[in-house]
Structure 1
Amino acid sequence: MSIWWSLHLRREAASVPLARRLLLGTMETAGVDPDISFELSVALTEACANAVEHGGDRNTGDTGDASEAYRVTAYLDGETCHIEVADSGPGFPAGQPALVRRAAQDEENGRGLRLIEELADHVHFGNRTTRGGAVVTFDKIVKWRADAPLALT
């Protein structure tokens, strides 16, 4: 059995915990190990926070167009959870979408992408080819609780 969901969210701070809670609830219901669920939820939180902060075209003033939204898609299939967060902003720097900035220890910002890399098994930072925007995809091999109702072991 697989579980798939997709959210179209406004670029507002309140949307980030909504996506996180949906992921955590899905993982708990499916029977995914809580430590894995937590790691994925932190990675999702960072990706969504980046979409909220950087995912719009600031030159247009965000006047109700697509730049006010971002998309979260997740699926749990077999032993893998795959998550994608896509926005309509300027995207990653041309020719360097995989470059992850290393934040200094005392910096307040700049650690999110690095944290996603540390928490997930596979990560890809790229740009959408149509309509622009950044895409962050990551996946992780899941462990199941002993009493997991959806485990495919």
Structure 2
Amino acid sequence: MSIWWSLHLRREAASVPLARRLLLGTMETAGVDPDISYDLSVALSEACANAVEHGGSGAIPDETEAYHVTAYLDGDCCRIEVTDSGPGFPPAAVTRRRPSLAEHGRGMHLIEELADHVRFRNRPGRGAVVTFDKMLKWRDGALLSVS
């Protein structure tokens, strides 16, 4: 069995905990180990916060602009994708893979630490995409666990 869902969210701060709670509720219901669920929810929060802050046409978040979150729980893997319509990642941010002391970019490093595989990419003229995967662990008696 697998589960997937997709959200179309306004670029406002209140959308971040909404996406996080939906992910946590889905994983709890499916029977995913709470530590794995927590790691993925923090990574999702960072990706969503980045889309809210940087994912639009202007410097100030515009509530009429949106970003998208899609989550897939399939077998022993969870894949999450966050897309926005902003200017995209600076080239150095896409290729850099070490922690930064700069004010921006720490969330990207945190996502890399919490997930098993991460991809940051730009869609020229259409925004940025953050995709991350994590292998799942299951509680005993979980609904979706792969035997």
TM-score normalised according to structure 1 size: 0.88
Which residue number in structure 2 is paired with residue 140 of structure 1?
134
Query: Which deviates further from its counterpart, 141-150 or 13-22?
Result: 141-150
Q: Pick from 120, 130, 138: which aligns with 2:115?
A: 120
Deviation at 1:23, TM superposition (A): 0.2
Residue type at the aligned position of 2:142: A
Deviation at 1:69, TM superposition (A): 0.4
Deviation at 1:92, TM superposition (A): 1.1
Structure 1: 5+ residue stretches without partners: none
Distance in 2, Cα, partners of 1:149 & 1:20: 21
Q: Secondary structure of the equivalent of 2:105?
A: coil
Q: Residues 11 and 61 of structure 2 are in contact (CA less than 8 Å); yes or no, is this contact kept in structure 1? A: no
Q: Cα deviation per residue 1:71-126 (whole Å; 9 max; x = unaligned)?
A: 0000000000000000000001247623357332xx65431000000000000000
Percent sequence identity is 71
Distance in 1, Cα, partners of 2:59 & 2:40: 33
Q: Secondary structure of the equivalent of 2:132?
A: strand
Per the alignment, do residues 96 and 139 of structure 1 end up closer, same or farther by CA in structure 2, a change over 3 Å counting? same
Which residue number in structure 1 is paired with residue 106 of structure 2?
111
Residue type at the aligned position of 1:2: S
Q: Secondary structure of the equivalent of 2:146?
A: coil
Q: Residues 121 and 130 of structure 2 are in contact (CA less than 8 Å); yes or no, is this contact kept in structure 1? A: yes
Superposition RMSD on alpha carbons, in Å?
A: 2.1
Per the alignment, do residues 41 and 58 of structure 1 end up closer, same or farther by CA in structure 2, a change over 3 Å counting? same
Per the alignment, do residues 102 and 49 of structure 1 end up closer, same or farther by CA in structure 2, a change over 3 Å counting? same
Which residue number in structure 1 is paired with residue 55 of structure 2?
55
Q: Secondary structure of the equivalent of 2:12?
A: coil
Structure 2: 5+ residue stretches without partners: none
Which residue number in structure 2 is paired with residue 9 of structure 1?
9
Distance in 2, Cα, partners of 1:111 & 1:25: 26
Q: How many residues were matched structurally?
A: 147
Which residue number in structure 2 is paired with residue 88 of structure 1?
85
Q: Residues 82 and 139 of structure 1 are in contact (CA less than 8 Å); yes or no, is this contact kept in structure 2? A: yes
Deviation at 1:58, TM superposition (A): 0.9
TM-score normalised according to structure 2 size: 0.91
Q: Cα deviation per residue 1:38-83 (whole Å; 9 max; x = unaligned)?
A: 000000000000000000011799484xxx1000000000000000
